[in-house]
Amino acid sequence: MREQLAKIRAEALAAFESVQDAARLDELRVKYLGKKGELTALLKQMGRLTPEERPVMGQLANDVRAALEGALEASSKKLEASALERRLQNEALDVTIPGKAVSIGRQHPMNIALDELKDIFIGMGFQVLDGPEVELAELNFDRLNAGEGHPSRDWSDTFYFDRDSRVMLRSQTSPIQVRAMDALPLPIRMVAPGRVYRKDEVDATHSPMFHQVEGMVIDRGVTMADLKGTLNTVAEQLFGEGTKTRFRPHHFPFTEPSCEMDVQCHKCGGVGCSTCKGEGWIELLGAGMIHPRVLEMSGIDPEVYSGWAFGFGLERLALRRFKIDDMRLIFENDVRFLEQF
């Protein structure tokens, strides 16, 4: 038994000495000193000793227990100290390291162009309106004088939500004209930017979702001269003083007469180049005098009031403004692209 005690003592002390982590140390404690541990197991055999041997062995066993407990305590302290040391090292804070720069987002080129436009119109006394992207076909078409059978209502062009084509993703911002006429007192001077949707395949100049800006003025005695004067001023503010414009006759169901406005190419001055595809002019927007029937449908007397309206695609304007040649870049939102503005 003496030898067994000496063996346990030597083994346990060596194990306590070399242990590296607290969990393993606890396992060792159970193994040697626990209720079912090796030392206890040995003490249970004391009964087999002679009465003379018993106190001697008892004393010896107590010595071994005390030695093991001492070593266990020391080892545990050592582990705690090194754990603390490690933690302090890991959490050390070097206040002299330079901070990480926070990267700040940037305004999207479309918003830059839109903000410029809004500034111009607000400066002329227009208010900025908003309308829903999910719109009634009644407002998107009927109230704009494009009744049943009008080609623009076709299923192949329009995203309808229901079989009887009553609810749709608006295909133009023009229904905001109707909403404004229904909701606001006259006179009205408003612009309304927003997303519109058409069933177009994506390519360099098309997208099934794009943005338009609508504009409308209604008052007594408003004429085509007001339309031209206002839009000429806008063109000069956007593209520089002296920018030439031209108005070509066109057709829209909700205006009469209708026109399209071109601006003289700012790159070649009208001679013809790649920017204007050799034309010398760049098409900018559709416009016209609001059709009397449209005014009537909104309860406005066309004998007393008249108005003009315009609408254009914001992407086209932004592409030109920033000399971007593919519309897809506008929507992909690659930061390397966006950081250039």
Q: What are the C-alpha distances in Å from 111 to residues 120, 284, 315?
A: 14, 18, 10
> In the chain, which residue ranges form alpha helices assigned H by DSSP?
2-18, 22-33, 38-43, 53-90, 109-123, 137-140, 175-183, 224-239, 292-297, 314-322, 328-332, 335-338
3-state helix, strand, coil in the chain (%, to 5): 45, 20, 35
Shortest spacing between CB 255 and ligand DAH, in angstroms: 4
Pick 214 or 315: Cβ nearer ligand DAH? 214
Pick 31 or 118: Cβ nearer ligand DAH? 118
Pick 68 or 238: Cβ nearer ligand DAH? 238
Shortest spacing between CB 152 and ligand DAH, in angstroms: 8
Distance from C-alpha of 27 to C-alpha of 99, rounded to nearest angstrom: 45
Shortest spacing between CB 253 and ligand DAH, in angstroms: 9
Residues 6+ apart with CB under 8 A from 231: 245, 261, 285, 287, 310
Cis peptide before 185 (omega within 30 of 0): no
Q: Looking at beta carbons, which residue is closest to ligand DAH?
A: 311
CB 71 within 8 A of CB 17: yes
Pick 39 or 180: Cβ nearer ligand DAH? 180
Pick 188 or 287: Cβ nearer ligand DAH? 287
Cα Rg for the chain, rounded, in angstroms? 42
Burial label for 180, CB within 10 Å (0-12, 13-18, 19+), is buried
Shortest spacing between CB 322 and ligand DAH, in angstroms: 23
Nearest to 313 by CA among 275, 282, 272: 282
How many residues can be counted in the chain? 341
Shortest spacing between CB 235 and ligand DAH, in angstroms: 16
Distance from C-alpha of 220 to C-alpha of 87, rounded to nearest angstrom: 80
Pick 33 or 289: Cβ nearer ligand DAH? 289
Nearest to 312 by CA among 235, 257, 237: 235
Shortest spacing between CB 268 and ligand DAH, in angstroms: 27
For helices 22-33 and 2-18, give the axis angle rounded to 10 degrees: 170
Pick 39 or 289: Cβ nearer ligand DAH? 289
Distance from C-alpha of 279 to C-alpha of 275, rounded to nearest angstrom: 9
Shortest spacing between CB 289 and ligand DAH, in angstroms: 8
Pick 194 or 286: Cβ nearer ligand DAH? 286
Distance from C-alpha of 121 to C-alpha of 310, rounded to nearest angstrom: 13
Pick 32 or 210: Cβ nearer ligand DAH? 210
Shortest spacing between CB 212 and ligand DAH, in angstroms: 6
Residues that bind ligand DAH (CB under 6 A): 172, 174, 214, 252, 255, 286-288, 309-311
Shortest spacing between CB 172 and ligand DAH, in angstroms: 4
Distance from C-alpha of 333 to C-alpha of 328, rounded to nearest angstrom: 9
